[in-house]
Amino acid sequence: MIRDITIGQYYPADSVIHRLDPRTKLFGTMIFLISLFLADSIWAYVLATAVLAAAIRISKVPFSFMVRGLKAIVILLLISVSFNLFLTDGETLVKLGFLRITKEGLYTAAFMAVRLIYLVLGSSLMTLTTTPNELTDGLEKGLGFLKRFGLPIHEVSMMMSIALRFIPILIEETDKIMKAQMARGADFESGNLIQKAKAMVPLLVPLFISAFRRATDLAMAMEARCYRGGEGRTKMKPLKYKSRDRISYLLFFLYIGIIIAMRVML
């Protein structure tokens, strides 16, 4: 179900990770993602696993909650794993008709799977511990230097934050309209591709209309509350680095340093 996507869903809890500056978390997530692509040995993955496990533990987000985000990528995972498994050349381990599994294939497939899973877990950890507003604040401030080149950073981050707020609402709405049309005999499942695409019209038209209506309403509500762009705005939660952020940065550099060292030396 679409509901199971955890990316963009905040899990309220009181942990050090929740309290970190969003810029720190963004940077940390980036480092972690980079490290996944630099890691090329079992030991590097062991380290990455340990770091991820520790971070999840500290965040107080239940593991079961994090895993739900993985459901969304199961198909992607299966495809990439089978590609790597069957299409890598090397020493043959098993032969199934025209398919063969090689030792190298098994390795790459396993690494690929772990990489993908960690990628999702790592980014979900960030979104689960950071409110979308903090996240966009982080992006806004972290990328603030781009404003000098005329990029509308405030506007973009405001749009992202609003999009995040409305995703669950629109998902629920999709479900409702779908059911309402099914009650009128609509069939979203059977038929060929073209028929299926045509069957979507009774769902998509009302959904777009509703999205536009919400957008108009929201724009009016924002205007009524004196919103007029980023100019002259103050912040309820201004971003300030604290000592825990400085320590985190140190840890990030230490971690990526070790990963690089492992790549060079092992």
Partner 1 sequence: MGIKAVNLNYIYGQGTAFEQYALKDVNFEIQDGEFIGLIGHTGSGKSTLIQHLNGLLKATSGEIYVNGENIYSPGYNMKALRSKVGLVFQYPEHQLFEVDVFSDVCFGPKNQGLPKEEIERRAREALSLVGLDESYYSQSPFELSGGQKRRVAIAGVLAMEPQVLILDEPTAGLDPRGRDEILDQIDRLHRERGMTIILVSHSMEDVAKYADRLLVMNHGEKLFDGPPKEVFKHYKELEQVGLAAPQITYIVQDLRSRGIDIDDNITTIAEAKEAILALLSGKEKT
Partner 2 sequence: MGIIKAANLIFDYIKRDEEDNVEEVNRAIDHLSLDIKKGDFVAILGHNGSGKSTFAKQLNGLLLPTEGTVWISDMNTQDDSLIWEIRKKTGMVFQNPDNQIIGNIVEEDVGFGPENIGVPTDEIWKRVDESLKAVGMTAYRKQSPNKLSGGQKQRVAIAGVMAMRPQCIVLDEPTAMLDPNGRREVIRTVRELNQKEGVTVVLITHYMEEVIHADRVIVMDEGKVVMDGTPREIFSRVEELKQYRLDVPQVTELAYELKQAGVPLPDGVLTREELIDALMNVFEKKRLEWRQDGN
Q: What does the binding site for partner 1 look like in residue numbers (CB under 8 A)?
A: 62, 64, 173, 176-177, 179-187, 201-202, 205-206, 209-210
Per the CB < 8 A criterion, the answer to whether 50 and 150 are in contact is: no
- From the list partner 2, partner 1, none, which binds 186 (C-beta under 5 to 8 Å, kind-based)? partner 1
d(CA 187, CA 141): 47
Closer to partner 1 by Cβ: residue 116 or 178:
178
Of 97-105, 198-206, 209-217, 244-252, which part binds partner 2 (CB under 8 A)?
Answer: 209-217
- Which residue blocks in the chain are alpha helix, DSSP H? 16-19, 22-38, 42-59, 63-71, 74-87, 103-129, 132-142, 153-183, 193-199, 201-224, 243-265
The nearer residue to partner 1, 168 or 230, going by C-beta atoms, is 168
Out of 3, 223, 253, 257, point to the residue binding partner 2 (CB under 8 A).
223
Q: Which is nearer to partner 2, 24 or 161 (CB)?
A: 161
| Residues 3, 1: Cα–Cα separation, whole Å | 5
User: Contact with partner 2 (CB under 8 A): which of 3, 237, 242, 246?
Assistant: 237
Of 25-33, 92-100, 110-118, 163-171, the segment contacting partner 2 by CB under 8 A is 163-171
Q: Please report where in the chains the tokens 């979900």 appear, as a residue.
A: 124
Tally Cβ neighbours within 10 Å of residue 64: 7
Least distance CB 58 / partner 1 (angstroms): 21
The residue (of 179 and 233) whose beta carbon lies closer to partner 1 is 179
CB of 72 to partner 2, least distance (A): 19
| Residue 184 binds which entry of partner 1, partner 2, none, CB below 5-8 Å type-dependent | partner 1
Site residues for partner 2, 4-43, by CB under 8 A, read 10, 12
Residue found under tokens 């940077």:
27
Q: Alpha-carbon torsion 187, 191, 192, 194, what sign? A: negative
Count residues near partner 2 (CB under 8 A).
Answer: 31
Please give the Cα distance from 156 to 244 (Å, whole number).
28
> Is 162 a residue that touches partner 2 (CB under 8 A)?
yes
The residue from 50, 221, 247, 250 that contacts partner 2 (CB under 8 A) is 221
Strands 99-102, 92-96: pairing is antiparallel
Rounded to a whole number of angstroms, the minimum distance from the CB of residue 220 to partner 2 is: 6
Q: What's the longest Cα–Cα distance across the chain?
A: 69
User: Does residue 1 touch partner 2 according to CB under 8 A?
Assistant: no
Nearest of 68, 45, 65, 43 to residue 56 by alpha carbon: 65
Q: Assess 61 for contact with partner 2 (CB under 8 A).
A: no
Token pair 């979308």 is at which residue? 132
Q: Of 39, 8, 27, 7, which Cα lies nearest the Cα of 115?
A: 39
Compute the least distance from the CB of residue 259 to partner 2, in Å.
33
The site partner of 126 among partner 2, partner 1, none (C-beta below 5 to 8 Å per kind) is: none
